[in-house]
Structure 1
């Protein structure tokens, strides 16, 4: 009689049901789509735009599955990538420059599966294609920012210590550092001692003196410069990871190459436009002392004549384009933000961004606002974008920095680490800015020096070959087991099939990205999984040869084989764990797949086969076994 408990039958049934349901989304491949988003200052996505796109596709006889508004973007889906390309061209022609049309692979999983958290397994760059970027970090800009920061700190130090100075300016010549001009030799000597004591990363030396101008040259030490360069790379890597998380790309590859370059590979991104817009964007806020309000006569005069005070910049107000003068002094920047979120200002009803500063930024903001209540403070929005231009018949990417004032108002009361910035044009603009600020500011601008797109044909070819490899390996193993072990071999085949189903279900549920090495891990798992059944069947045969009854042979076969199966799989599991924790890229993908496969095969090869064997033989009187 069977000694297999009922609760184990229930467990096996639940696991099999789980495997089928959560592996099912992989039977619904994503469909090619074009996603339309509104650029800055463009009209929002609405039903009229949806109708306009539908009519444009219909008029050009381009077959589409659907065109619908999803949140703040419009999505048009197509049957295949060829129609997708034609549809994208038609959409771009009718919409113009106010909107961005980007390729996308849209999930086709039924809503009821999505409601229970079932989703298809994300595919890696080698399987579904994607984009590859090679980015050059402008480390000179990081050094320039640090020198400007030191210049501001030195000014504050000299004012606090009441040392007379004429100017503290960063030299326009690279490597010359900061030039401090003082009124007397004694002032220069005092300033030199204080700067050297306060800022140990700076070298201070006397410069040439003429009349009442006594020069002090301040240069960042070489070790600090090297640290700044390394820090720029490290911070940019972290910022890129935060920003790419917003894209929702699974298992992105982001790593340093050489001393000043970063490689980014994004699987499933068909069009690099949106990715470049996000990962290459340098958008941040600068809080500066204001010089008058928008439309101030001094600003009007500076805009008309071009004569701008040496300690000021002339910007334009966002939205109204009015000229406004802003001090060159920077109180805090986006680098000192720890959190940012968008919303609507309840008083004015306009979009806003709530920001939180770190301790250093909060201290600077508190000091400034306490000392300047009733005076203006401007919020400058700085954005670096890239444009493609034709130069000598070749496409050349050039960067363009745009700076505008989004808010210029008098300080009502002191504040420090938490406050809000209003004056943004739309909720989407506020949301985009909050995402960039929350993702972190780039320590230094980056230029994309090379980019490539892995086409869908290569990805499809790899998927087909991987699928054929899995199916061929599975078929051969199933056939060998069925021929050699007869009925017990067929039971092992059923377990092997469900091992594959449960493995795919677990990988899909936890979001493991499937790559070609992962496919190899699946094939190896299927080959290894049958080993446990071989051990069980041979143990049963051995017990039968020793004269045990069929039921006793089955019971002994499972009990005696379990220790050997566990030992063998534990050693495999340790190797897979080492690959997962210490490996990267394809090696890690292979290790993750192998580790999950070992755990699922332990269940299916032992518990699941035992359940089926008990169902078949448990309530029958047996003279022999088909093994």
Structure 2
């Protein structure tokens, strides 16, 4: 059938029409019309459009802690050791955890006995943890995709890299800080009781520990931390100016409140300031002293005396006091177990507060609950009237209102937000779901749209100049045959663009380089064929016979060169990422299209000419 010229021309015209059809959405998208259909089109990558490139890494350490059943201090220390070893040796964390666990005679199975069903050895548990890590990353990818869609990024590129990394390419992003916050939020939402009647008792216990063991500060394992309990007391005794410079406090009177004997007898609770008009909390701390409190709470001896029924959580933002103009953060002591969590929330939405409420004209996030959660919430609010309930997102208290009456409807709001973007982002992350484990940004870069415009302009010029030079050369050197090759070359470019458009490919600068390389390879195939035909004509063969023999003898050479290049492109596409993958995909598509155009189309034209005795 392929020897039938009519069929060959029918196939060529069919491919030509299909190419125009599939490339039209791309043309329309980047013309003044702006394509609004459902078909795919070629998107511009970060280096052409501008945007944000982010490489994330799943926090495996936190993941395996989250799914463990009451991990012992020894096991938690083993996790830290394995993490440090993996960083120093550039090795896999779970492999290091296996080595550390075996060396310390830690039986991993007892921490995961409820979930592991296929063996009890440490190796079996590590295999289970690898599977859980893989599942968690799949979940993170899907959640991030939903979040980014809600952010309004057009066609984000999200792909996995290695065992625990994720690459995001967010084209057109003009607010990297907002995007970064949106990506990293775990979206862990909790409604928990504020244990306001216990915070002073727990704080006094911590005070006693620090007084009884003043060596705790100097024995800290955090060598990088320069602020500790002892140095705080010493500096406050010896240097009155410490609190003015290092704590950024304007008033010497207020500075003296933390620069006297209070911290000697109350090294923890002495930092608390009862500024009630800010948070309704008795534990308000200068914003500049938050790290000191965090340090104290991180001490192992302090952790041991904090009741397991509660935990300390900071307010999400600092507020300035009307009385003194200083910034404070509230420290809440809340119940360990929340009454409502992320899985109980449905249909979160960002809205402007309606008339009749306390938040008229302000942005809020409205939350609805599942039927089971409504029942729990109703019983909880009915039994805790007069108590505070903290609404916590990503371990930060956004608000802690007092319960005035029993709430039966299951609807509530998050208030106190800065602007529409914050409200919308919170609603987006809650709607997308909670991440199974935190993700950390390990690499980030941004490209401005102006650089992308210059790159596009330079790429267009490079492609156009190269294209014109090739066409002129083929016409001058091969004359009529060169005209045929140029016809095939134009069809080749059109065909490549149509395939890229059909696949919805994101075109990057390396992708354009692959396209230009393909043009050269396509002409190279024609040069080989034409030289073979010349050789056949010199032996005295007729034009038709010489053409058939020339294509036949050149085919294996062309096939061999293209197949080896195709293999290289396949390898690059599978092991590479970002720009390398874009180059490989464009190159692979170009090779296949070039084979069709250089061998099939030009041969059809030559056979038609010889059949009609047209001289070329």
Instruction: Work out the CA distance in 1 between the residues paired with 2:406 and 2:471.
Output: 75
**Partner of residue 245, structure 2:** none
- Matches for 1:479-518 after TM superposition, within 5 Å: 479-518=472-511
**Partner of residue 591, structure 2:** 598
Higher relative contact order (CA 8 A, sep 6+): 2
Q: Does 1:578 align with 2:571?
A: yes
Q: Which has the higher helix share?
A: 2
- Select between 454-463 and 492-501 the one with higher mean Cα deviation: 454-463
Task: Pick closer, same or farther for the CA change 1:140–1:584 going to 2, 3 Å.
Answer: closer
Consecutive unaligned residues of structure 2, counting only runs of 5 or more, are 80-105, 113-125, 196-277, 284-306, 316-332, 350-364, 383-388, 416-420
- Matches for 1:553-592 after TM superposition, within 5 Å: 553-592=546-585
**Partner of residue 621, structure 1:** 613
The Cα offsets for residues 468-502 of structure 1, whole Å up to 9 and x where unpaired, read as: 22222222222222222111111101111121121
Do 2:145 and 2:158's aligned partners in 1 also have CA atoms closer than 8 Å?
A: no
TM superposition shift of 1:579: 1.1
TM superposition shift of 1:602: 1.1
Of 133, 142, 147 in structure 2, the residue corresponding to residue 243 of structure 1 is 147
**Partner of residue 19, structure 1:** 19
SS in 1 for 2:398: strand
Do 1:374 and 1:410's aligned partners in 2 also have CA atoms closer than 8 Å?
A: yes
Task: Pick closer, same or farther for the CA change 1:22–1:263 going to 2, 3 Å.
Answer: closer
Do 2:543 and 2:610's aligned partners in 1 also have CA atoms closer than 8 Å?
A: no
TM superposition shift of 1:593: 0.9
Do 1:470 and 1:523's aligned partners in 2 also have CA atoms closer than 8 Å?
A: yes
TM superposition shift of 1:437: 4.9
Q: Does 1:117 align with 2:39?
A: yes
Q: Does 1:269 align with 2:173?
A: yes
Between the two proteins, the alignment pairs up a number of residues equal to: 427
Instruction: Work out the CA distance in 2 between the residues paired with 1:304 and 1:522.
Output: 60
SS in 2 for 1:613: helix
Of 329, 333, 353 in structure 1, the residue corresponding to residue 337 of structure 2 is 329
Do 1:139 and 1:229's aligned partners in 2 also have CA atoms closer than 8 Å?
A: no
**Partner of residue 541, structure 2:** 548
Do 2:369 and 2:411's aligned partners in 1 also have CA atoms closer than 8 Å?
A: no
TM superposition shift of 1:329: 2.1
**Partner of residue 58, structure 1:** none
SS in 2 for 1:472: helix
Instruction: Work out the CA distance in 2 between the residues paired with 1:3 and 1:137.
Output: 57
Instruction: Work out the CA distance in 1 between the residues paired with 2:162 and 2:516.
Output: 33
TM superposition shift of 1:454: 2.1
Instruction: Work out the CA distance in 2 between the residues paired with 1:578 and 1:198.
Output: 38
Task: Pick closer, same or farther for the CA change 1:117–1:374 going to 2, 3 Å.
Answer: closer
TM superposition shift of 1:591: 0.9
**Partner of residue 236, structure 2:** none
Q: Does 1:201 align with 2:111?
A: yes
SS in 2 for 1:283: coil
**Partner of residue 528, structure 2:** 535
Consecutive unaligned residues of structure 1, counting only runs of 5 or more, are 31-107, 152-169, 178-195, 203-222, 292-302, 317-324, 343-350, 357-364, 385-398, 413-420
The Cα offsets for residues 5-36 of structure 1, whole Å up to 9 and x where unpaired, read as: 32321221121122233334444565xxxxxx
Q: Does 1:383 align with 2:293?
A: no
TM-score using structure 2 length: 0.53
- Matches for 1:218-617 after TM superposition, within 5 Å: 239-240=143-144, 243-244=147-148, 247-250=152-155, 252=157, 265-272=169-176, 275-276=179-180, 278-286=182-190, 328-330=336-338, 333-334=341-342, 375-376=379-380, 382-384=392-394, 401-402=397-398, 436-437=429-430, 439-443=432-436, 453-617=446-610
TM-score using structure 1 length: 0.52
Do 2:368 and 2:412's aligned partners in 1 also have CA atoms closer than 8 Å?
A: no
Task: Pick closer, same or farther for the CA change 1:508–1:587 going to 2, 3 Å.
Answer: same
Task: Pick closer, same or farther for the CA change 1:446–1:490 going to 2, 3 Å.
Answer: same
TM superposition shift of 1:598: 0.4
TM superposition shift of 1:546: 2.7
Instruction: Work out the CA distance in 1 between the residues paired with 2:556 and 2:613.
Output: 28
Instruction: Work out the CA distance in 2 between the residues paired with 1:589 and 1:520.
Output: 10
Instruction: Work out the CA distance in 2 between the residues paired with 1:560 and 1:126.
Output: 42
Task: Pick closer, same or farther for the CA change 1:145–1:3 going to 2, 3 Å.
Answer: closer
The Cα offsets for residues 487-539 of structure 1, whole Å up to 9 and x where unpaired, read as: 11111011111211211221122122222221221111111111221232223
